[in-house]
Chains A and B, each alone.
Chain A
Amino acid sequence: MTTIDIDALGTSQLLMGNEAIARGALEAGVAFGAAYPGTPSSEIMGSLITVAKQMGIYAQWSVNEKVALEASAGASFAGIRAITSMKQNGLNVVSDFLSTLVITGTGRGGLVLITCDDPSAISSSNEEDTRPIAKWFGIPLLEPGNFQEAKDMTRWLFDLSEKLGSICMLRSVTRISHARGCVRLGKLPRRKHKAYFEQVHDIWNAAPSKFITEPSVKRHVSQYLRLDKAREKFESSPFNWYVGPDRADLLIVTCGSCWLHSQEAVRMLKLEDKVGILKLGTLWPIPEKFIEKHLGKSKRVLVVEEIDPFLERSIMELVANLPFGSLHPLFYGKRSGHISACGEQNPDTVLKAITSIMDLTYQPREIKYTRKAEQAAKDIPNRAATLCPGCPHRATFWSIKNALRLDGRNGFVTGDIGCYYLTTGSTGFFQTRTMQCMGGGIGLANGLGRLGQFGFNQPVLAVCGDSTFFHAAIPALINGVYNQSNFILAILDNNATAMTGFQPHPGTGITAMGEPTKIISMEALCRSLGARVEVCDPFNLKDTTATLLSMIEDEDGGAKVVIMRRECELVRARREKRLPYKVYVDFDKCIGEACGCNRLCTRVFHCPGLIWDREAGKPKIDEVICAGCGVCADICPQGAIIRERADS
């Protein structure tokens, strides 16, 4: 496997887009990195962390994106090149600091912010476009159209940031960040980094320091000047180019991974001499003169981009500002419906748009085959994502379901993103009824738990993960204790940021770079607030259910905390490489459909390791899948699921 610090100038390596971004930062001489993990961005900081010690640089997992950006800006203020990375939702979290950082500007060290958007929300709760935020805040923005550019743009942005004195942004998407391609490597600098915070009077603005927002309006003017400078540089940027004929029947304007899809669609239709492609890499401010020059190539313009019609609107704005009587092309894209407003693009969607505009027909293969294949695949059952075999959350939600049922007042769970997202479906027994963003569930519980005076008496159980607790739940919990809101917060502590790749967090006692550090105790922290706090092992179904029920029925209102503590099964399995229990079904004890349990194990508990043997009419364990947690042995009313210590 290639590691991103390989010293192999000029060689071509297979890199994930995120690794290419990290490599670009290394080639730029980055010395400080801070991020909170979030798919599809996590491997940027992840791969920097892996090489940090050898490269003599520093990188951390921060508790959230805002702290990560602030920490990185601190490094920049002291003259150190710094990077922060996040998924699209992270940009919302940093927005307060970001909106003022663009006013003060950055320090002597370049500061680059990477956002990785997730069109089609493959691993996200929304498909948010971060490009308009760059425009909104006034931040120079680039987007790579391939893996090489992911590296080269990142490297160049550090220079730009220092020249402008502004934070610069790179927007990537899942199909760049989480795809892999060949990247030709540049030189790795070996430089000494010296950090120093210069405390000098800002004479130009008559302010005691450069890094305060006052005088805001004057600084706002400077910000516009920085953007003008950026635009000027973008006009001749090698990240923008045109391929195609001098006069084209159709001009495609595109950016990001849509460049790869567009190029492929044109090639598949063999329209290289009729359709031109204007590929843009500098997205804000847009290079107006460069675009204007190429708009004249065709009377028809198709804008291909993902999520918002960002380029489409920006180019229409540009056309509206052209002198009276100028050429005005026909625009196709999201407004015209040729490119879908939601979901990601691919070569087929672009192909469809081109054939529709140019009135062409395209049939990929024989219709007879297509019909037959589609018909055959139609009956394949859907494969819903589930909690992993051996996942502690399945056991936790089993107890939650039973405790809420025993209470009988129609209690419910307000949920969070991450693996718990899955508990909105059958794998979590449909217990989770709300899901928005990190910490959103406990915030909601604050409101729901204060509705008693309006007749509300349903128990509210907010759920979040251990990493989310540190990221976004603490202020909401304090609010709940302070305002005496009636809810239970269940922290599902599996000792890792599991969904994004098992990154450590403040509760784990280890830093990103592998140094031992203080363990921040969730129970001590919560108890210090005066909340009732219980700690359960979710694999002990009986005790967990009893504890939950006692908390639900606790006559003392207010916010309470239960910590469900059990290591993520994927982490355990990686370390131990063996199963804790051998689990099997005793066919003599199991009475199948005659039991009256209505197939509690396979129909309700829904662990992928338990399958139904049709011939026997009984369940059995799929030994390829079973993780050997043995929890299912406790749910069988007949005691027919047997667990034996693997070493006995």
Chain B
Amino acid sequence: MKALAKEPLNLVITGVGGQGNVLISLLISEALVREDYLVVIGETYGVSQRNGSVISHVRISKETQCSPFVPNRHADIILGMEPAETLRMLGQFGNPDVITIVNPRPIYPIDVTGGEAEYPDLGELIETINELSAKTYVINAVEEAQKLGNLILANVILIGALIGADILPLDRKSLEPVLKQRFPKEFEANMIAFNKGMELVGW
């Protein structure tokens, strides 16, 4: 079993309501619980599910049950399913040691589509994310999922990238049974997506 890099280890997953980040936090946490970690997940629920900002805090420990909140500036990993939301999280939880995985596909807030606010330039946005992180992985999950023929696989590609980045005490073997249990019929397709994610971070 892989060791925990830090005690506790803090993962922040962020995205936009409807993207499925709650499911990502669940799949990761189930794999961790199978390996006897004490996991606490805190999530934003409610109206944010309707296209607002959604954040999951995953706290991983061998020793103690943590608060469902990652304290400010204490994220070890930020998994961003949307680039602007990723930078928003760096603003609160980022630190010079944070590792960031970001899906660069923007989802525009209605204030932006309506012309009342401006969405930052995507290139500059990714550059800033990179500057504020010790290491950044840019994963074109939506594009890759489209290639695999199903947009919904974008989430599992991101899980693959997260596991491949080798910062959680998990590997492919720990995720397999969780994906199998959760997606019995679509297990093959999900494993292809998972492997794609791992490949994208250099496996």
Residue numbers of A with Cβ under 8 A of B are 1, 12-14, 39-40, 122-124, 146-147, 174-175, 178-182, 257, 260-261, 263-264, 267-268, 346-348, 351, 364-366, 369-370, 372-374, 376-388, 419, 421-422, 426-427, 499, 599, 602-604, 606, 608, 610-612, 622, 624-625
Residues of A within 8 A of B84 (CB): 380-381, 383
Whether A122 pairs with B45 at a CB distance below 8 angstroms is yes
Bound Cα distance from A379 to B118, whole angstroms: 9
Distance between B182 CB and nearest chain A CB, rounded to angstroms: 7
Residues of B within 8 A of A379 (CB): 120
Whether A146 pairs with B65 at a CB distance below 8 angstroms is yes
Most buried by B among A261, A385, A426: A385
Q: Which A residue sits closest to B118, measured CB to CB?
A: A381
Knowing A373-B91, A381-B117 touch, does A426 contact B96 (C-beta < 8 A)?
A: no
Residues of A within 8 A of B88 (CB): 377, 380
Whether A385 pairs with B47 at a CB distance below 8 angstroms is yes
Q: A13-B33, A260-B67, A381-B111 are in contact. List 10 more A-B contacts (CB 8 A).
A: A122-B46, A123-B46, A261-B69, A369-B95, A372-B132, A376-B87, A377-B87, A384-B109, A388-B50, A606-B114
Q: Which B residue sits closest to A612, measured CB to CB?
A: B113
B17 at the interface (CB under 8 A from A): yes
Chain B positions 88-111 with a Cβ under 8 Å from a chain A Cβ: 88, 90-92, 94-96, 105, 107-111
Most buried by A among B16, B114, B128: B114
Residues of B within 8 A of A608 (CB): 51, 107-108, 110, 113
Bound Cα distance from A514 to B182, whole angstroms: 23
Distance between B190 CB and nearest chain A CB, rounded to angstroms: 15
Distance between A286 CB and nearest chain B CB, rounded to angstroms: 24
Q: State the 6 A-B residue pairs at the shortest beta-carbon distance, nearest first.
A: A377-B91, A123-B46, A385-B52, A381-B117, A179-B68, A364-B73
Whether B46 pairs with A383 at a CB distance below 8 angstroms is no
Whether A373 pairs with B66 at a CB distance below 8 angstroms is no
Whether B114 pairs with A257 at a CB distance below 8 angstroms is no
Which one of B92, B114, B151 contacts A426 once the chains associate, using CB atoms below 8 Å? B114
Residues of A within 8 A of B48 (CB): 122, 385
Bound Cα distance from A179 to B67, whole angstroms: 10
Bound Cα distance from A175 to B67, whole angstroms: 9
Bound Cα distance from A377 to B78, whole angstroms: 14
Can you list 23 A-B pairs with a CB-CB distance of less than 8 A?
Answer: A13-B33, A122-B44, A122-B45, A175-B68, A178-B45, A180-B43, A181-B41, A260-B65, A364-B73, A372-B132, A377-B91, A381-B84, A381-B112, A381-B117, A383-B109, A384-B110, A385-B17, A385-B51, A386-B52, A386-B110, A388-B50, A606-B113, A624-B105
Bound Cα distance from A459 to B132, whole angstroms: 54
B38 at the interface (CB under 8 A from A): yes
Bound Cα distance from A625 to B113, whole angstroms: 13
Whether B182 pairs with A178 at a CB distance below 8 angstroms is no
Q: Which B residue sits closest to A148, measured CB to CB?
A: B65
Residues of A within 8 A of B11 (CB): none
Residue numbers of B with Cβ under 8 A of A are 16-18, 26, 29-30, 33, 36, 38-53, 64-69, 71-74, 84-85, 87-88, 90-92, 94-96, 105, 107-115, 117-120, 128, 131-132, 142, 151, 181-182
Bound Cα distance from A386 to B50, whole angstroms: 6
Residues of B within 8 A of A257 (CB): 67-68
Which one of B87, B115, B120 contacts A599 once the chains associate, using CB atoms below 8 Å? B115
Which one of B33, B43, B51, B105 contacts A386 once the chains associate, using CB atoms below 8 Å? B51
Which one of B66, B74, B111, B182 contacts A260 once the chains associate, using CB atoms below 8 Å? B66
Knowing A365-B96, A422-B50, A606-B110 touch, does A181 contact B90 (C-beta < 8 A)?
A: no
Distance between A366 CB and nearest chain B CB, rounded to angstroms: 6
Bound Cα distance from A370 to B98, whole angstroms: 13
Which one of B30, B92, B142 contacts A377 once the chains associate, using CB atoms below 8 Å? B92
Q: Which B residue sits closest to A376, measured CB to CB?
A: B128
Q: Which B residue sits closest to A180, measured CB to CB?
A: B41
Bound Cα distance from A380 to B112, whole angstroms: 11
Whether A376 pairs with B50 at a CB distance below 8 angstroms is no
Knowing A388-B18, A602-B113 touch, does A380 contact B120 (C-beta < 8 A)?
A: yes
Residues of B within 8 A of A612 (CB): 108, 112-113, 115
Bound Cα distance from A12 to B85, whole angstroms: 33
Bound Cα distance from A482 to B111, whole angstroms: 44
Q: Which A residue sits closest to B111, measured CB to CB?
A: A381
Which one of A264, A599, A625 contacts B67 once the chains associate, using CB atoms below 8 Å? A264
Most buried by B among A264, A268, A426, A606: A264
Inter-chain residue pair count (beta carbon < 8 A): 199
Most buried by B among A1, A381, A386, A422: A381
Knowing A377-B87, A602-B113 touch, does A181 contact B53 (C-beta < 8 A)?
A: no
Residues of A within 8 A of B73 (CB): 364-365, 370
Bound Cα distance from A1 to B33, whole angstroms: 12
Most buried by B among A178, A369, A380: A380
Bound Cα distance from A261 to B120, whole angstroms: 35
Bound Cα distance from A347 to B96, whole angstroms: 21
Bound Cα distance from A122 to B41, whole angstroms: 17
Residues of A within 8 A of B42 (CB): 175, 179
Bound Cα distance from A381 to B39, whole angstroms: 32
Distance between B159 CB and nearest chain A CB, rounded to angstroms: 16
Knowing A373-B94, A383-B85, A599-B115 touch, does A260 contact B68 (C-beta < 8 A)?
A: yes
Knowing A369-B95, A381-B118, A383-B53 touch, does A179 contact B40 (C-beta < 8 A)?
A: yes
Whether B33 pairs with A347 at a CB distance below 8 angstroms is no
Whether A180 pairs with B107 at a CB distance below 8 angstroms is no
Residues of B within 8 A of A182 (CB): 33, 38-39, 65
Distance between A233 CB and nearest chain B CB, rounded to angstroms: 26
Q: Which B residue sits closest to A364, measured CB to CB?
A: B73
Residues of B within 8 A of A380 (CB): 84-85, 87-88, 91, 120
Residues of B within 8 A of A372 (CB): 131-132
Residues of A within 8 A of B74 (CB): 364
Q: Which A residue sits closest to B142, measured CB to CB?
A: A624
Residues of A within 8 A of B43 (CB): 178-180
Bound Cα distance from A521 to B188, whole angstroms: 45
Bound Cα distance from A611 to B110, whole angstroms: 8
Whether A611 pairs with B108 at a CB distance below 8 angstroms is yes
Whether A603 pairs with B114 at a CB distance below 8 angstroms is yes
Bound Cα distance from A243 to B53, whole angstroms: 37
Residues of B within 8 A of A387 (CB): 50
Bound Cα distance from A384 to B108, whole angstroms: 11
Whether B66 pairs with A376 at a CB distance below 8 angstroms is no
Distance between A569 CB and nearest chain B CB, rounded to angstroms: 11
Residues of A within 8 A of B90 (CB): 373, 376-377
Bound Cα distance from A377 to B38, whole angstroms: 31
Whether A174 pairs with B45 at a CB distance below 8 angstroms is yes
Residues of B within 8 A of A122 (CB): 44-46, 48
Residues of A within 8 A of B181 (CB): 1
Distance between A150 CB and nearest chain B CB, rounded to angstroms: 12
Residues of B within 8 A of A386 (CB): 50-52, 110
Residues of A within 8 A of B91 (CB): 373-374, 376-378, 380
Which one of B33, B36, B51, B92 contacts A383 once the chains associate, using CB atoms below 8 Å? B51
Distance between A34 CB and nearest chain B CB, rounded to angstroms: 23
Bound Cα distance from A365 to B94, whole angstroms: 9
Residues of A within 8 A of B85 (CB): 380, 383
Whether B109 pairs with A610 at a CB distance below 8 angstroms is no
Q: Which B residue sits closest to A121, measured CB to CB?
A: B46
